[in-house]
Amino acid sequence: MPIDMQGLCPLIQVFDMPTSVRFYRDVLGFEVFSSSPPRSPDDCDWVWLKWNDTELMLNTAYEFDNRPPAPDPARVAAHDDTCLYIGCTDVEAAYHHLRENGLNVKEPAVTHYGMKQLYLHDPDGYNICFQRTASD
């Protein structure tokens, strides 16, 4: 019998939790569902975000007292290998929302395999793609 799976919730490591929380909550629209005890608003070591059926967890890449003053460029460059694909019923509206919130994103494009996709990077360099089938 197959495993009865109930969704997927990736965890990514972030350099600056307050910056990441503000990006995912205030720009993309996620809600903070749960978090570790905060040191100050938005500054915690772990957070669980939800938006409808979409879930994501963020964890600090460094313990609070061991965080270097700036991100490691090699580590950030490696994040480009990771992409969070998020289903989106209106990719054009997402594009306009992101532009209105100050993000410099390219217009959505239709791929040769029939998906309308809009790509952007989060503050840590992870790829995010809002997508739907182009025939919808």
Q: What does the angle CA 73 – CA 23 – CA 53 come to, to the nearest 5 degrees?
A: 115
Task: Flag whether pLDDT at 136 surpasses 80.
Answer: no
Which of 64-68, 91-95, 130-134 has the least mean pLDDT? 64-68
Quick check: 87 and 132 in contact, CB under 8 A?
A: yes
Give dist(CA 82, CA 60) in Å, integer. 17
Tell me the CATH number for domain 79-136.
3.10.180.10
Q: Which pTM does this prediction carry?
A: 0.93
* Helix, strand, coil distribution of the chain in percent, nearest 5: 25, 35, 45
**Which of the two residues, 40 and 24, has the higher pLDDT score?**
24
Give dist(CA 47, CA 37) in Å, integer. 10
Q: Mean pLDDT across the stretch 67-79?
A: 92
Domain ranges for the chain: 1-65, 79-136
Q: Read off φ and ψ for residue 96, nearest 5 degrees.
A: -65, -40
Task: Name the average pLDDT for the chain.
Answer: 95
Are the folds of 1-65 and 79-136 the same? yes
The percent of residues above 90 in pLDDT, for the chain, comes to 90
Cα–Cα distances in angstroms (integers) from residue 123 to residues 9, 13, 92, 115, in the given order: 19, 11, 22, 25
* pLDDT tens for each residue of 78-130: 999 999 999 999 999 999 999 999 999 999 999 999 999 999 999 999 999 99
**Model pLDDT, residue 106:** 96
Name the CATH superfamily housing domain 1-65. Answer: 2,3-Dihydroxybiphenyl 1,2-Dioxygenase, domain 1 (3.10.180.10)
Residue reference for tokens 């772990």: 46
Quick check: 127 and 119 in contact, CB under 8 A?
A: yes
